[in-house]
Structure 1
Amino acid sequence: MMPSDRPADSSDAARSGQPHPTDTPEEPTTVSAPPLAFGMGNPTADCIADSAGGLTFDLDAPEHSGTADHWSAALVLRRRAGAADEGEEAEEIRLPLTPNGDGRLRAVLPSTVALPEGRWDVHVAQGDEEPVRLVPGLLDLRSLVDRRPGPSTSPLAVRIPYATKHGNLSLRSWLRGPHAEAGDLLLDDDALTVHGVLYRVEDPEAWLADAVVEARCRRDADLVATVPLTADGADFTFTLPYAELSDEWRGGLDVWDLTLRRPEAADDKDPVRIARILDDVVDKQQIFAYPPRAIDTPYAAAQAGPYYTADNDLSVRIDERPPAAR
């Protein structure tokens, strides 16, 4: 499947009347090196990810190598403004660059440095010069594959470097706690079954004992479907019948966002979004595509199926069935 320049979720957001905060003009293609036609002449950075969420950058920047020990040499991360941030100054984090002993410059982003959720563009700066975008070299993301965080109640930090469609280096950052990681999805003709794991709570089994799964419609926040789950330690499983979502469907696109919630818990806070972020795939829409299933609804013939949003959150779409499939 060839990747598109823009995430499919941006059209979903437009059709549901809700702009998406990551609907930006420069989105990822793959996590490998970009086409050589892009970014020629810009300095290159290799990046190594560790399993805790930290990143190490090694730069080829010959024009700065003679002054690498100067205090002002820095790796600059700038968070892209979303729809809700228009008019505000871009958030920026500067990391010092120092020689790494191999004739290159190194910057380290520890997992303990909070990086708010979003897309961060990576630059190199020297003194008062305008920062220059970096081109990705080797992206070593092996430690992110099948990542299973250890026990903790602190927010889970996930950072995935990637090459944008313009050939620049960017990061996608998540900071979540608690976090519900989606695993295997089983698609039946009339229901979706999801297996997942809950992280960043003190006692996952006790937390899940009070939890249910909620599907909330973006078109109308008052439309909510609730289904039970089963738990084994931190692992959970639930089945969501499409009939629970399609009774109120009246044509067009309906998107239902999936969360865990503890309605009876006194200390219940915001619902926990179900997402898939614990691997090396920055944009799940391009990799995990699920064919919709034909369903019958009280209104008309439709189709339903799961998908991952631009934030790698798990949602379900109910949409009109194409004429050829009726």
Structure 2
Amino acid sequence: MNPEPDTTQDTQLRVHCTADADGRLTFRLPALAGPEPQVLLRLRPKKGQTEETVHVLDVEAVDDGTWRAVLEPRPALAEGRWDVYLLPEPGAPRQRLRPGLRDVRALVDGHTRDRPSPVAVRVPYTTKDGYLAVRAWLRTAHAEVERMAVTDGSMTVTARMHGAALEAGAVVRLRARGAKGAVLTREPQVDSGSRQFSFTVDYAELVAADAVGDRVWDLSVQPRSGAGATARIGHLLDDLAERKEIFVYPSAAVAGVAVRPYYTVDNDLSVEVTAAQHR
């Protein structure tokens, strides 16, 4: 489907959105004109790329005079940011929707429920320019951060596996970004009979492992020994679409550089090493 470009960027039409624990999203709109209104979700293309993926939902009238569209848990949305539009009728120019009430209470304790593979997450949120969007993640497996203890020289992370079980020989990997970035490993401490594990990162070891002054280390876990897919360590399973500017950890001075854990724009956990002259 190739809908016409949106022509109403300043629409004041608002849509209420409710998320449930299974990943279902329900959109409610005021009474609409038009023979067959639809709600359209568009996967926001990366910079320089063209739009390729949309998902269209039929709208039905509700007894209270409003309209409703439901995005069921399956099929899962591709990972990325999905903008929400109204199509007054099929083929009509689409209109960007602004958020009304966002009920995301069912997502708050999402980290307490074991997730099967693939791990599919959806969080409705308000964009910086005031429109409704949905942040989606879709991963074969995921390690959810449950606690972090940060000191002047180290960080200890407690996380829980979703979509995979930790087996003998599982390792935590810290990979420095770049073509020739170093790789460090840690043996996780696994709770018996649980998917929960913990590990400690010594900042001085990160600094000593790489001669480059500025570096970012990405954290992941390999659930089983030998070659195999790794699962990124991060914080996805609650009601927050953006963590980077909310969860800010202090930096530590180690051997003339600053070391700081942080969440990326994708809510994955990384560690930033910054030379003193760049701070």
Distance of 1:177 and 1:295 partners within structure 2: 36
Distance of 1:87 and 1:287 partners within structure 2: 29
Unaligned runs of 5+ in 2: 1-8
The 10-residue stretch of structure 1 (147-156 or 39-48) with the greater mean CA deviation from structure 2: 147-156
Question: 1:257: Cα distance to partner?
Answer: 0.3
Q: Compared with structure 1, are the counterparts of its residues 292 and 320 closer, same or farther at alpha carbon in structure 2 (3 Å cutoff)?
A: same
Distance of 1:75 and 1:178 partners within structure 2: 30
TM-score (ref. length: structure 2): 0.89
Match of 1:57 in 2: 27
Distance of 1:152 and 1:280 partners within structure 2: 16
Render the CA deviation track for 1:148-180: whole Å, top value 9, x for unaligned.
464553312111111111111111000123110
Q: RMSD across aligned C-alpha pairs, in angstroms? A: 2.0
SS at the partner of 1:243? Answer: helix
Q: Does 1:242 align with 2:203?
A: yes
Q: How does 1:142-291 map to 2 (within 5 A)?
A: 142-148=105-111, 150-151=113-114, 153-201=116-164, 204=165, 207-232=166-191, 233-247=194-208, 248-251=210-213, 253-262=214-223, 264-265=225-226, 268-291=227-250
Match of 2:63 in 1: 101
Amino acid at match of 1:110: E
Q: Give the counterpart of 1:127 among 90, 93, 115.
A: 90
Q: Give the counterpart of 1:292 among 251, 255, 262.
A: 251
Distance of 1:150 and 1:294 partners within structure 2: 37
Report the structure, 1 or 2, having the larger helix content. 1
SS at the partner of 1:75? Answer: strand
The 10-residue stretch of structure 1 (152-161 or 189-198) with the greater mean CA deviation from structure 2: 152-161
Render the CA deviation track for 1:236-267: whole Å, top value 9, x for unaligned.
0000111221122432x3100000014624xx
Match of 2:258 in 1: 303
**Identical pairs, percent:** 37
SS at the partner of 1:157? Answer: strand
Report the structure, 1 or 2, having the larger strand content. 2
TM-score (ref. length: structure 1): 0.77
Amino acid at match of 1:156: V
Amino acid at match of 1:235: Q
Ranges of 4+ aligned residues in structure 1 off by more than 3 Å:
61-64, 86-89, 148-153
Distance of 1:149 and 1:82 partners within structure 2: 32
Count of residues in Structure 1 that have an aligned counterpart in Structure 2: 267
Distance of 2:40 and 2:167 partners within structure 1: 40
Question: 1:105: Cα distance to partner?
Answer: 1.2
Q: Give the counterpart of 1:79 among 34, 38, 43.
A: 43
Question: 1:208: Cα distance to partner?
Answer: 4.2
Render the CA deviation track for 1:304-324: whole Å, top value 9, x for unaligned.
01100000000000002368x
User: Which protein has greater RCO, CA pairs closer than 8 Å, 6+ apart?
Assistant: 1
